[in-house]
Chains A and B, each alone.
Chain A
């Protein structure tokens, strides 16, 4: 028995000034885990929650039972979506620094997740995103101009100046309305999936939550409902190691994996290398097959790393080693998919350089068009629209207040 009690406060292994150190992470080799049939009962799948589903090895070859079958052109499409996401975000991040908008967030290092899942799910399915899955939209060809106009809140902003930059909504692209409140749409995905099952339709829902927000009640409520009603939903935890300045240990990562939380709900929990496009694809296909077979929900933890700051208001150099991202043991998802395509003879450096130049030009052109319409404050939708859409039909308050403002 201890002499007296002590209070445990988790702390990360390294801080600014320390050398990056990921030696505490157990990274099994690619291809190590078996791929049970997607109809396997959840209780027989526990190993998939504590291991790490990986497909791409260090040389860029796909190995092991989880290797998905993907046409090379689809792989190139995935690479395009990821690269476009990164180039676009870099451009918009600079636009923020130049005072063209108020706020921005990048998904650097996490692009494989949204891109692969967007491609695996069908147009009938609905994604309930976090603010770090732009690659979902990029994989479905969402117009860059609309993104830019939303980020600048200008007069062509599809959301009419009502939302903070990047809190998009794109129903036609299977992308639910974003909010700055964390985790609060996780349960909506379960409701959506239950509605689809209620109607006898075949639409699935897929939701994301950050590892930090798994501590919210929303996460546990959603898992409970998904489990109880066998909702056809894929619930994803993007474990990017950092919630602003709080390392994943503050959300409980030192006690259990996030995938392991599925066990208590009787759901399968897959832990997946989120920087491995093929592993993300394969795990998603597995969960989709399970859901479409009416076998209910799957929880997937994507193990990844937030290579950029939380947002334009954040300086990660104040709480983690400055070059930590470069030492992330699972690498860069774009580099790894490119390496794979080259390894299988479907890509080469020359084409990649040309590809990157084309995408950069697309981004530059979209940014310029958006700037021509107007950056934040230089252009905006009619102020009268501020009073629209509160209710289906305006009530006297907004009618009177619109007059009061004189618009």
Chain B
């Protein structure tokens, strides 16, 4: 075990997989010699050689098309998209090709690719370095979409993603790369040091895709979150003193529907959190699933706390970001309903 930041944990996952499996290789913009703009691939080219970890042209469509071809051949490519905001030129490759190759060829070809991309706000990145596109991918059948919230999960989920024979979109919450962030942007920045989930085994292990984590058991309300919002939820729960059950979904496809339903039936109240804008966000799907499966257990309407339905605004970052005050208000509102 070692204390690791999320960046170190992700780097360790890639290191483990490069070491274990000669068919694993990775490429993306600036990830080779330089080690990536967020340093996730630092040292890997030096350790494993040029062809295992290399730079690509600025061509997201080309990166993913290349990865799919390599995957069909039998490799396990890990492609990095420098920011999730830049993934859209590759959308056709992900939607029309990676997601459907197995189905349309009746299993003759498939795309065991992992697409890593830092996502989310809180870094003053403006509208082109802050977005959360997970709902776009969740809607596409045939893709898995995974979002870790801490170093331990990040490593175990990334190894599981690389070992999966299905295409995985692996969204890394960049605001918590270096430390947990509870949305209190005016307080001192924390690191992962001394956080229990920063104790990460140095070798190989997996956190299975599709298995949520109940981070806090509670009786009064269920909070569903992933990525950075897990930490915002923890702060809001603590500050309100409400006996909430906090579920970190960890992957939204596959979705741990069993954990969600069991908790909702227990508490009868639900608050769904994400940074992405609210309308048709992944919270809409969660909300629909809950009312379909738990309607007669509900004591209050399910609430969503999310980004506003505007582009991500630079100067108004903290007005836009669904911080602990908004989450706390939603918790209280849901508790007041009868």
Contacts and interface: CB of A to CB of B under 8 A. Distances in A.
Contacts of A171: 105, 108-109
B66 A158 contact: no
B107 interface: yes
Interface of A: 158-160, 162-163, 167, 169-171, 176-177, 179, 181, 184-196, 198-199, 203, 205, 217-218, 221-222, 224-225, 228, 389-392, 395-397
Interface size class of B (residues with CB under 8 A): 35 or more
12 contacts: A167-B104, A169-B108, A171-B109, A184-B65, A187-B65, A188-B97, A189-B69, A190-B66, A191-B67, A191-B69, A222-B62, A224-B59
A187 B106 contact: no
Q: Choose among B69, B71, B141, B142 the residue with the greatest number of A CB atoms under 10 Å from its CB.
A: B69
A25 B152 CA distance: 65
A195 B73 contact: yes
Contacts of A160: 106
B338 interface: no
Interface in B165-206: 165-166
A309 to B, nearest CB: 25
A162 B103 contact: yes
Contacts of B57: 224-225, 228
A401 to B, nearest CB: 10
Contacts of A224: 57, 59, 62
Nearest to A198: B51
B142 A188 contact: no
B21 interface: no
Contacts, number: 136
B255 to A, nearest CB: 8
A176 B65 CA distance: 14
Nearest to A185: B97
Nearest to A164: B104
Given A169-B108, A390-B103, A187 B69 contact: yes
B104 A181 contact: no
A196 B65 contact: no
B106 A169 contact: yes
B104 A196 contact: no
A374 B93 CA distance: 34
Given A188-B69, A224-B57, 4 more contacts: A171-B105, A181-B97, A221-B59, A390-B102
B108 A217 contact: no
A264 to B, nearest CB: 14
A162 B166 contact: no
B337 to A, nearest CB: 29
Contacts of A188: 65-66, 68-69, 72, 97
Q: Which 8 A-B pairs have the closest CB atoms?
A: A191-B69, A187-B65, A221-B62, A195-B73, A188-B69, A177-B105, A191-B66, A169-B105
A187 B59 CA distance: 11
A217 B102 CA distance: 24
Interface in B150-166: 164-166
A225 B70 CA distance: 13
Given A222-B65, A392-B165, A192 B73 contact: yes
B61 A194 contact: no
B13 interface: no
Contacts of A390: 102-103, 141-142
A379 B62 CA distance: 40
